[in-house]
Amino acid sequence: MSNKLIGEMGLHTKISNIFAARNIITAKDALSMTEFELMELLDVGMKEIRLAIALISEATSPPCQSARSLLEKKVENEHLLGHLPTHLKGLDETLCGGIPFGVLTELVGPPGIGKSQFCMKLALSASFPVAYGGLDGRVIYIDVESKFSSRRVIEMGVKSFPEVFHLKGMAQEMAGRILVLRPTSLANFTESIQELKDSILQNQVKLLVIDSMTALLSGENKPGAQRQPQLGWHISFLKSLAEFSRIPIVVTNQVRSQNRDETSQYSFQAKLKDGFQEHTKTYDSHLVAALGINWAHAVTIRLVLEAKSGQRIIKVAKSPMSPPLAFPFHITSAGISLLSDNGTELKGPGINTIHARGHSDMINFHGDCS
Amino acid sequence: MEAWRLPLSSSIRGKLISAGYTSLPSISSVSSSDLARDVNITEEEAFEILRLAKQSSGSSSCNGSRSLINGAKNAWDMLHEEDSLPRITTSCSDLDSILGGGISCRDVTEIGGVPGIGKTQIGIQLSVNVQIPRECGGLGGKAIYIDTEGSFMVERALQIAEACVEDMEEYTGYMHKHFQANQVQMKPKDILDNIFYFRVCSYTEQIALVNHLDKFISENKDVKVVIVDSITFHFRQDFDDLVQRTRVLSEMALKFMKLAKKFSLAVVLLNQVTTKYTEGSFQLALALGDSWSHSCTNRVILYWNGDERYAYIDKSPSLPSASASYTVTSRGLRNSSSSSKRVKMM
């Protein structure tokens, strides 16, 4: 929309030519300047500028829909009401059906907690026929750290859906729908996802998994401040890709230690003398999600996986439709399964903290986990 | 006032000044045909210049108007207006009370906070609450929801709408004697019908939409709230030239203010958070920079205090700084359950 040509918007020829003469060809060029600046540049009166901008704006504006028609479209068009079931009953209930279409869902947690296992299971479910709660489509799995194991995926399939997998040729077909990409660099990855944009709809791709986003960016070795603009482009692109093609995009993220000078306070909080002030910088929660606060704003759903006193927990840390629930889980040969479908509600910012205590003994499930 | 301040194209301005018309009185004392001949421009252009000059100098002696300055209102009249301003409730009475009754119409309010604190929730709650009919103490208006990030989940809006309808039914049931028998009840899907949703995918579209809103709202006069979720997203990453960004943002803020005043509606801008190095340490601050923080009339910051969500009035021309707690429930925004005095005044 922003690249719409001014020449085709039905403006008066005279003013259209003036715009073109000053190299203002697309709507983006025109709207990136203030009205005063345009007036100076084009040597045209304020009234004409306003008229021209009004026309350009009307042509470039996105269309209006009522929220009701949004809902009706969802019900009509989307399988399973626009959610990919995770087959974890408690989690699916909380998320109103599963991983939602059209938005970014993030899985964050310490190494070895089960993020890749979760992703592999999701990839498998998406490839299933609709009758078994799947999306009957292809899956693109971007495996940056070489954690994808086809043997493991088939094992999960056999153990969790034996009736499907024992059918002749099913395993081959299901596994055949999962396309694994191993980008060697960020540039490589960027190229691949740009290509994807066009081919997603044509090729029935129903899920995109990026495991992990952090690994892609950390390979670039640029100082912290430089990271933001790079990530910015990817964030916008992934979000628009998700929305445009109405597929779920699942991204995994790693953790890092909190810097000593990091804070979660505003300047006015020091002045407010509420009795409840407590510094959240306890030694327990010294881990935070990587990729920064901008990324944290951009994801729609954030699932935190952590380990506390030897117990693995999955928490719904950010979700516009769910209360902040935590579920204990464990990993079996059939993949991740919840130990209890009734989550405990965690009030407060604690839902965002990531623990890794008592965790080191749990890594190396099955030997081929990360 | 000098002639070079007039909003004219630079070549006309250049001609005016080189012909010797550097101040407004010199322009107003001449007729349009003389001006045209002197400065070597067309009659229409001369007429336009005279009109602009008259407007700027504010002299209304020729129309015999009583006011000293065109367009000014005296403070007493404004007081009456301010008091009778409708406000949109947030469904959380503590929050409403620090806001002076709710989000005020005719004002631009900025609400910012960390991810997950409830900004989108407040946005959706307001777009539902603006529709509460006048009989129940609301505005009976419609909402425009401008979504720049894709965070609007329509299922959540439906949940909140259903809860609102239930609350209204309870209220009307209680006040039953005041209502006629054939009162039409709002249904949740009707509420969704009155939320005009725009999905913006780039800052160009965002600017275009803001420009277009004037026309859209003139055609849909019962829109009483415009929510932008979030104002930051596209400007944070796609704009390379920060100085240009500041200029464009200020212009956008002015346009929002004009919309708010012209149509008497509330504009709510949701903002994200960034870290800033001040006073020797890193602190959280709302995004988009210091210049932007001047642009909005009211500013509310949502933050965590212990285990509870709080809202703090950071900037307001008439409300004292105060904070109040709120919670997000499956029915929407509500008071937090702890009933002890929550509203802390500075």
Contact partners, residue A334, CB within 8 Å, separation at least 6: A156, A159, A160
pLDDT at A249 over 90: yes
Over its length of 346 residues, how does chain B's per-residue pLDDT go in tens digits? 576 677 778 788 888 888 877 777 777 777 778 888 877 788 888 888 888 877 776 544 444 444 567 777 888 888 877 777 788 999 998 999 999 889 988 889 999 998 888 899 999 999 999 999 888 888 889 999 999 988 888 889 999 999 999 888 887 776 665 555 445 577 888 899 999 999 988 888 999 999 999 999 999 989 999 999 989 888 887 777 888 888 888 889 999 999 999 999 999 999 998 888 777 777 888 888 888 888 888 999 999 888 889 999 988 888 898 999 998 888 888 888 764 444 444 3
Contacts of B220 in chain A (CB under 8 A): none
pLDDT cut 70: percent of chain A above it: 85
How many Cβ atoms sit within 10 Å of the Cβ of residue B48?
19
Structure tokens at B281: 């340490």
Chain B, nearest residue to A237 by Cα = B201
pLDDT at A80 over 50: yes
- What ipTM describes this predicted complex? 0.81
Amino acid at site B103 = I
pLDDT at A358 over 80: no
The string of pLDDT tens digits covering residues A122-137 is: 998 888 888 777 888 8
| B79: contact with A, CB 8 A cutoff | no
In sequence order, the β-bridge partners of residue B228 are B146, B269
pTM of model > 0.90: no
Which of the four pLDDT bands, split at 50, 70 and 90, describes residue A369?
Answer: very low
pLDDT of residue B111: 94
Q: Chain B neighbours among A 72-101 (CB < 8 Å)?
A: 74, 96, 100
Contact partners, residue A2, CB within 8 Å, separation at least 6: A26, A27, A28, A31, A60, B202, B203, B204, B205
| B346: contact with A, CB 8 A cutoff | yes
Contacts of A263 in chain B (CB under 8 A): 275, 281-284
Structure tokens at B78: 């404004």
Output DSSP code: residue A266: B
Tally C-beta pairs within 8 A across A and B. 231
pLDDT of residue A296: 87
In degrees and rounded to multiples of 5, residue B308 shows phi and psi of -120, 155
Contact partners, residue B214, CB within 8 Å, separation at least 6: B258, B259, B262
Contacts of B215 in chain A (CB under 8 A): 54, 58
Contacts of A317 in chain B (CB under 8 A): 116
Which of the four pLDDT bands, split at 50, 70 and 90, describes residue A81?
Answer: low
Cβ–Cβ of B7/A276 closer than 8 Å?
A: no
Q: Chain B neighbours among A 179-208 (CB < 8 Å)?
A: none
Which of A79-83, A103-107, A111-115, B156-160 shows the lowest per-residue confidence on average (mean pLDDT)?
Answer: A79-83
Euclidean distance between CA atoms A178 and A156, whole angstroms: 14
Euclidean distance between CA atoms A306 and B269, whole angstroms: 34
The string of pLDDT tens digits covering residues A301-346 is: 999 998 888 889 999 988 888 888 899 999 988 888 888 888 888 7
Contacts 24+ apart (CB under 8 A), A365-368: A365/A331, A366/A152, A366/A333, A368/A149, A368/A151, A368/A152
Contacts of B156 in chain A (CB under 8 A): 320-321
Instruction: Name the residue among B342, B254, B242 with its Cα closest to residue B288.
Output: B242
User: Which of A43, A68, A271 has the CB atom closest to B193's CB atom?
Assistant: A68
pLDDT of residue B311: 93
Q: Chain A neighbours among B 232-251 (CB < 8 Å)?
A: 233-234, 236-238, 244, 247-248, 251
The string of pLDDT tens digits covering residues A251-307 is: 999 988 876 656 667 777 776 655 444 444 444 457 888 888 888 888 999 999 988
Distance from CA of B274 to the nearest CA of A (A): 7
Interface test with chain B among A22, A33, A266, by most B beta carbons within 10 Å = A266
Contacts of B218 in chain A (CB under 8 A): none
Q: Chain A neighbours among B 261-300 (CB < 8 Å)?
A: 272-275, 278-279, 281-285
Output DSSP code: residue A143: E
Residue B194, class by beta-carbon neighbours within 10 Å (0-12 exposed, 13-18 middle, 19+ buried)? Answer: buried
Which of the four pLDDT bands, split at 50, 70 and 90, describes residue A245?
Answer: confident
| Coil, helix or strand at residue B190 | helix
The residue that leads in pLDDT, A214 or A76, is A214
Q: To the nearest whole number, what is the mean pLDDT of chain A?
A: 81
Euclidean distance between CA atoms B333 and B117, whole angstroms: 11
